[in-house]
Amino acid sequence: MQYYVVSRLAQSFISLIGLVILVFFMIRMTGNPADLYLPDDVSAAARQAFIELHRLDDPIILQFGRFIGDLVHLDLGTSIRQGRSAAVIVLEAYPTSLALAAISMSIALVLAILLGVWAAVRPTGVVDRTISVLSLAGASAPNFWVALTLISIFAVGLQLVPTSGIGGWDHWILPVAVLVLRPLGLLSQVVREAVIRSLSAPYIRTARSKGAPDRSILYVHALRNASLPILTMAGNQAVAFINGSVVIETIFGFPGVGKLIIDAIVQRDFAVVQAAVIITATVIFLLNIVIDLLYALLDPRIRHS
Amino acid sequence: MSSTDHPLGTPPDEAETLLTARRPAYLHFLVRDPFALASAIWLLLIVLFATLGPLLLGDAATDMNLRARNLPLGSIENSWLGILGYDPLGRSVLARCIVATQTTIGIAAAAALAALTIGTIVGLYAGYTGGRTGRVIMQLSDIVQSFPSLLLALFVLYMLEPQPLNIVLVLAFGQIPIYLRVARAEVLELRERLFVDAARVLGAKPRQILARHIGPLVLPVVINIVTIDFALIMLSESSLSFLGLGVQSPSITWGVLVAQGREYLQSAWWISFFPGLMIMLTTLSINLLANWLRRVRDPRERWRFDRARHTGRRR
């Protein structure tokens, strides 16, 4: 168990370091940072001053050393738009995104388990086919389009909820509804498959013959064994959430990290983009650790190996 | 007596149905499944749009008619192309949706093919050689996979120009790990087989073994994945286009069209609704058809179709 956790930790950590190196060199490969940081109409003297200030003429190995040195001191550079630490700006945006992700993911997970188990009770029945097609449709719809459609129906047409911005709880309804859709579609399929597979296992027959009620067979016996593939998919979807939040936060004007990244890209605020990428990678790194620990918790084969 | 005639102990007609059932009659099964049939028809339409669309409607998609600005659905006084309404420059929404098919499908197909080729070749190599190189390759693929693909694409396209080639490469890059992983897993299993040993003993070089003996067996597995992956790539491309980092005007994809209609959501919802619907229907059709194909090919599932054919008989 300890060996498993430690080795997974080491692996994810190597991945994290790899990504940081990748980010550093990708920036350098695309040209002089002076061109990225400074506006196009800057004078040659100012440009030279900038290069000297940041010692961009140094050998790449020295620059890399400084980059890592700054990173160790948690210094991710300064935003040229706001003149503040880029790391602070990114960290300020994170709570909104995390709340959005946590709420959507919990709703998606609960609904997916209910729908998936319902569909698995009678495979290829009417309920199953309906849920299958609907969940596929949910996973197939482009989220920005769903968002725009919901806005034009519920915000513009019926005027039930605000179109965008942040404020009361009603601002959260549409973004959460859109973000739930894709994980719900994918997860309910996984739940269905996993429950169907575990329903044919001998231990289910045992449970049935000892007289366990149907509901507890489905939700306790079968679902428990189906929890590993569900966890895998939920983990993947949690990472994919960052993709979704970029689009959804932009449309709904949510001050989260997704909108921050897009704004920083449009404003060419390079330090913020870089900080957001590195901090996001760290968040994913932590998330992977949690998922690995959950694996070990759920699967005795991993725990005792 | 019958057991000597038929060693399997089954009457001749049953044995015959068993034999014919081995090769699925795809068309027959397709007609039986309304969802799969509708998906197949829609995808055929999409292929038609992609090949002939720009040729037939290229002009109609760019012709501006300021008197037709933002005309709603069903404005067919001038031409049938107005059935889905007009955009703010008086261009037909239907024509633009159809013409955009070529670029949308083209970019997604190119990216899927690139990811398939690179991922499979690297995966074959990593699986066959194993050792340290194999481990490093897997570690690199882990890094790529553990990072949100859209963020990576935004990051790269922000620094490079959003040209079609860059978009294809960026979209492909995020999908390579999927093929790499699958190809590697297949090779790990296949390389222990007898025919590979035989080839090795006969003096075949690793490259020959991979290309001639293992590759052909891995190919169907990765081709199975590419259908679903194509749909995923199309979704990513549309998100990129929507955010303004996809193809640049005058080229149009469905994602670009949705983005263009965003400003007119309050007055003319049809401008962004229909291109988005095209994306969804196409992705959904691909998924439904892939699911159907898996069921038809899987002998454990096929009995469901068979039972529909010979009503009342149970297997």
* Dihedral over Cα of B98, B102, B103, B108: its sign: positive
Least CB-CB distance to A246: which of B35, B150, B304? B150
Q: Do the chains contact at A152 and B154, CB–CB below 8 Å?
A: no
pLDDT surpasses 50 at B310: no
Q: Do the chains contact at B272 and A145, CB–CB below 8 Å?
A: yes
Least CB-CB distance to A261: which of B147, B151, B160? B151
Least CB-CB distance to A262: which of B143, B243, B275? B243
Residue B313 lies in a domain: no
| pLDDT tier at B23, thresholds 50, 70, 90 | low
pLDDT surpasses 80 at B87: no
* pLDDT mean across residues, chain B: 76
Residue of chain A with shortest Cα separation from B262 = A148
| pLDDT tier at B299, thresholds 50, 70, 90 | low
Cβ contacts of A262 on chain B, cutoff 8 Å:
154, 243
**Range from A31-40, B110-119, B242-251 that averages highest in pLDDT:** B110-119
Percentage above 90 pLDDT, chain A: 1
pLDDT surpasses 80 at B90: no
User: What are the structural domains of chain A?
Assistant: 2-72 (no CATH), 86-304 (1.10.3720.10)
Can you tell me the mean pLDDT for B41-57?
83
Q: Which residue in the block uniquely carries the two structure tokens 């882990």?
A: B142
Smallest Cα distance from A142 to chain B, Å: 6
Q: Which residue has the higher pLDDT, A120 or A79?
A: A120
Count how many domains chain B has: 1
Q: Do the chains contact at B243 and A15, CB–CB below 8 Å?
A: no
Can you tell me the mean pLDDT for B287-309?
66
Instruction: Give A273's contacts (C-beta < 8 A, 6+ positions apart).
Output: A261, A264, A265, B155, B158
* Interface probe, candidates B39, B42, B235, chain A, greatest A C-beta count within 10 A: B235
Residue B32 lies in a domain: no
Percentage above 90 pLDDT, chain B: 3
**Could you tell me which residues are beta bridge partners of residue B86?**
B92
Residue B65 and residue B41 in contact, taking contact as beta carbons nearer than 8 Å: no
| pLDDT tier at B186, thresholds 50, 70, 90 | confident
Residue B251 lies in a domain: yes
Please count the residue pairs, one from chain A and one from chain B, whose beta carbons lie less than 8 angstroms apart: 134
* pLDDT mean across residues, chain A: 79
Can you tell me the mean pLDDT for A279-285?
81
Percentage above 70 pLDDT, chain B: 77
pLDDT surpasses 70 at B70: no
| pLDDT tier at B114, thresholds 50, 70, 90 | very high
What is the model's pLDDT at position A107? 92
pLDDT digits (tens, 9 = 90+) for A54-68: 666 777 788 788 778
Residue B188 lies in a domain: yes
* Interface probe, candidates A9, A14, A130, A136, chain B, greatest B C-beta count within 10 A: A136
Residue B215 lies in a domain: yes
Assembly ipTM: 0.75
Residue of chain A with shortest Cα separation from B160 = A30
Q: Which residue has the higher pLDDT, A278 or B19?
A: A278
Smallest Cα distance from A248 to chain B, Å: 10
Domain coverage including residue B198: 42-305
Q: Do the chains contact at B156 and A27, CB–CB below 8 Å?
A: no
Q: Do the chains contact at B151 and A145, CB–CB below 8 Å?
A: no
| pLDDT tier at A35, thresholds 50, 70, 90 | low
Q: Do the chains contact at B156 and A142, CB–CB below 8 Å?
A: no
> Among A10-19, B79-88, B201-210, where is mean pLDDT lowest?
B79-88
Residue of chain B with shortest Cα separation from A143 = B239
Residues A247 and A258: their CA atoms lie apart, in Å, by 7
pLDDT digits (tens, 9 = 90+) for A205-251: 888 888 778 777 777 777 777 777 788 788 878 777 877 788 888 88
- Structural tokens at position B91: 């261009």
What is the model's pLDDT at position B6? 45
Q: Do the chains contact at B279 and A265, CB–CB below 8 Å?
A: no
What is the model's pLDDT at position B315? 36
Q: Do the chains contact at B147 and A281, CB–CB below 8 Å?
A: yes
pLDDT surpasses 70 at A32: no
Cβ contacts of B261 on chain A, cutoff 8 Å:
148
* Interface probe, candidates A140, A153, A242, A282, chain B, greatest B C-beta count within 10 A: A140
| pLDDT tier at B314, thresholds 50, 70, 90 | very low
Residue B3 lies in a domain: no
Q: Do the chains contact at B155 and A277, CB–CB below 8 Å?
A: yes
The answer, for B45 touching chain A at a CB cutoff of 8 Å, is: no
Q: What is the CATH number of the domain that holds B53?
A: 1.10.3720.10
pLDDT surpasses 60 at A74: yes
Length of chain A: 305
The secondary structure of chain A, three-state, reads CHHHHHHHHHHHHHHHHHHHHHHHHHHHHCCCHHHHHCCCCCCHHHHHHHHHHCCCCCCHHHHHHHHHHHHHCCCCCECCCCCCEHHHHHHHHHHHHHHHHHHHHHHHHHHHHHHHHHHHHCCCCHHHHHHHHHHHHHHHCCHHHHHHHHHHHHHHHCCCCCCCCCCCHHHHHHHHHHHHHHHHHHHHHHHHHHHHHHHCCHHHHHHHHCCCCHHHHHHHHHHHHCHHHHHHHHHHHHHHHHHHHHHHHHHHCCCCHHHHHHHHHHCCCHHHHHHHHHHHHHHHHHHHHHHHHHHHHHCHHHHCC
What is the model's pLDDT at position B7? 45
DSSP state of B209: I
